[in-house]
Amino acid sequence: MALKAMLRTLDEPFARHTTLKLGGPAREWWLLESTAEIGQAVASSEADGVPFVIVGGGSNLVASDRGFAGRVLQVANRGIAIRGDEVTVAAGEPWDDVVGLCVDEGLAGLECLSGIPGTAGATPIQNVGAYGQEVADTIIAVDAFDRRVGHHVKLSPKECAFAYRDSALKHEARWVVTSVTFALERSRAASGLTYPELVKALGRSGEAPLADVRAKVIALRRTKGMVIDANDPESCSAGSFFTNPVLTFDELSRLEKRIETKPPCYAHGESWKVPAAWLIERAGFGKGYGGPRVGVSRKHALALVHYGGGTTSELLELARAIRDGVLARTGVTLQNEPVLLGESL
């Protein structure tokens, strides 16, 4: 496909493309609507020596108020192919549509990942997970354009090196995901449900109909402002702003001593996962802290919300205050979860 067929705009504000509704203009914005266009656009940007960034749904992105003096390549290829219990999804497909389709088709394995904003192509990058499922459980291949070798490649799960909310794709700006293939299970019921919050909402553990699981997960996420909804001001965010810290036994002991109480914690291999939201509240940044333009969500202390008329600078000032406050109070350094473009914490 000819490059000139791509939709390109100049001085396009990030604020129009991020769930936070923040961010200044990108000098060039290219919309890539096919897998071939993704490869061509990346290769030609490299050849032109133009700085470029890849974006998907803008749900995990904090862009500078200054914008970006380069080229934004927005992955927007579409298409879902189902062969038996295998589903191949183009990177630009809205993730929740994919989950909804699989639930309707009686394909189990993604239902706990309902209501998550963003595109399918973004899910392997941080190994998106929720309520006891993560995409690494079902991904069997990731198709990507490999910038190092200059052509399309197929990555195995092993090459992706999935870990907790992490993968090799996150650490090296080498691969641009073009599609993801999942091996699901032909079943109308989800199995292995143990996540306490979900089990409580369903009123049962183990098995439950896929559609019930999807409905309950979306309802739970709504109570936390984690479903994008024009009528819910708390949902104007980038989801969780910090990752949940994973501590060694010694680090956990030091934390307990310092705050003179036992924090909620969950075994994570040899280590311990502590909810970042709990640390944030403990450090004095309760739900509703801040405002009026940016603040801690009134529904979930882990989300930072833009209530309108604010700037990325204001949001990051709040994020720094929280990070520094949590460090001073607990000795734990929180890491931002969203990608920061043109900024650092």
In angstroms, give the least distance from the CB of 180 to ligand NAP: 15
Active-site residue, 344 included? no
Site of tokens 């939201």: 277
Nearer to ligand NAP among residue 35 and residue 330 (C-beta): 330
Active-site residue, 165 included? yes
Nearer to ligand NAP among residue 216 and residue 224 (C-beta): 224
Nearer to ligand NAP among residue 70 and residue 157 (C-beta): 157
In angstroms, give the least distance from the CB of 50 to ligand NAP: 30
In angstroms, give the least distance from the CB of 155 to ligand NAP: 19
Backbone torsions φ then ψ of 94, nearest 5 degrees: -60, 125
Q: Which candidate in 28, 59, 165, 234 is catalytic?
A: 165
In angstroms, give the least distance from the CB of 302 to ligand NAP: 5
Residues that bind ligand NAP (CB under 6 A): 126, 128-131, 165, 196-197, 224, 239-240, 244, 266, 273, 275, 277, 302, 337
Q: Which candidate in 86, 105, 251, 337 is catalytic?
A: 337
Q: Which candidate in 59, 235, 240, 297 is catalytic?
A: 240
Active-site residue, 28 included? no
Nearer to ligand NAP among residue 196 and residue 284 (C-beta): 196
List, by residue number, the catalytic residues: 165, 240, 337
